[in-house]
A and B are shown apart, each in its own frame.
Chain A
Amino acid sequence: DTEVTQTPKHLVMGMTNKKSLKCEQHMGHRAMYWYKQKAKKPPELMFVYSYEKLSINESVPSRFSPECPNSSLLNLHLHALQPEDSALYLCASSQDHGVLPTQYFGPGTRLTVL
């Protein structure tokens, strides 16, 4: 099974709201990723967690706050977002990065910021 699940599928929020995106995998993968994808563009890396520790932050604004509560779960906490943050947010996981970098993606959360 190579399934990564994400909830919610769609999210609409105002600029003063606080919300969270959730991602889950049960493949025993130890690396998890958040990507942001704008319309008609490729995904862009935001964060990488390796063995539940944040290993890469691609200079993402602090209004995005990732969290990895355990090896199966990855959250992205959102606060005071801007309309330009509207995008598809994709979660991915891999067995590990480096030697086995094959990443499996979830279906994404389509976020609209009003």
Chain B
Amino acid sequence: GNSVTQMEGPVTLSEEAFLTINCTYTATGYPSLFWYVQYPGEGLQLLLKATKADDKGSNKGFEATYRKETTSFHLEKGSVQVSDSAVYFCAIPANQAGTALIFGKGTTLSVSS
């Protein structure tokens, strides 16, 4: 099956700092790739996705590019805000049938003003 490896935190940044959270994957074929965000006390929200190589997913100032050559899908944001404090999960379908998602271990981001 597929697998995903995500940098673990916690990541602590000041407001307006640049954010990178690394995610690499191992997969058969070229699966869709996802970033989900979980705010304190809430469920998971889809942040962005990419469905093929070189696609760039973007949402709320966050971006991630599907890099086939490095099997990576790193999450970036140019200027973080306090409201971005959350746990971020990289995710990939478990197999080619796409029956379920498997998640990285999650990265906790704390942004201070």
Q: Within B54-113, which residues are at the interface with A (CB < 8 Å)? A: 89, 93-94, 97-106
State whether the Cβ of A103 lies closer than 8 Å to any Cβ in chain B: yes
Residue in contact with B34 in the complex, picked from A2, A99, A102, CB distance below 8 Å: A102
Q: Quick check: which of A13-21, A36-44, A77-85 contacts chain B, the rest being far away?
A: A36-44
Q: How many chain B residues have a CB neighbour from A under 8 Å?
A: 23
Q: For the complex, what is the distance from the CA of A2 to the CA of B101, rounded to whole Å?
A: 18
Q: State the CA gap A60–B49 with chains docked (Å).
A: 29
**Interface SS, A side:** loop
Cβ-defined contact, A90 with B99, below 8 A: no
Contacts of A102 in B (CB 8 A): 32, 34, 46, 49
Neighbour of B101 across the interface among A41, A56, A103, A106, CB < 8 A: A103
Q: How large is the interface on A (under 10, 10 to 19, 20 to 34, 35 or more residues)?
A: 20 to 34
Determine if B106 and A41 form an interchain contact, defined as CB atoms under 8 angstroms apart.
Answer: yes
Q: Which of B43, B100, B105 contacts A45 (CB 8 A)?
A: B100
B residues near A (Cβ < 8 Å) are: 31-32, 34, 36, 42-46, 49, 89, 93-94, 97-106
Query: Which residues of A does B touch, CB under 8 Å?
Result: 2, 6, 33, 40-43, 45, 48, 55-56, 88, 90, 92, 97-99, 101-108
> Given contacts A33-B100, A45-B102, A56-B100, could you give 13 more A-B pairs where the C-beta distance is less than 8 Å?
A6-B43, A42-B103, A43-B101, A45-B101, A48-B100, A90-B43, A97-B98, A98-B98, A102-B32, A102-B34, A103-B46, A103-B101, A105-B44
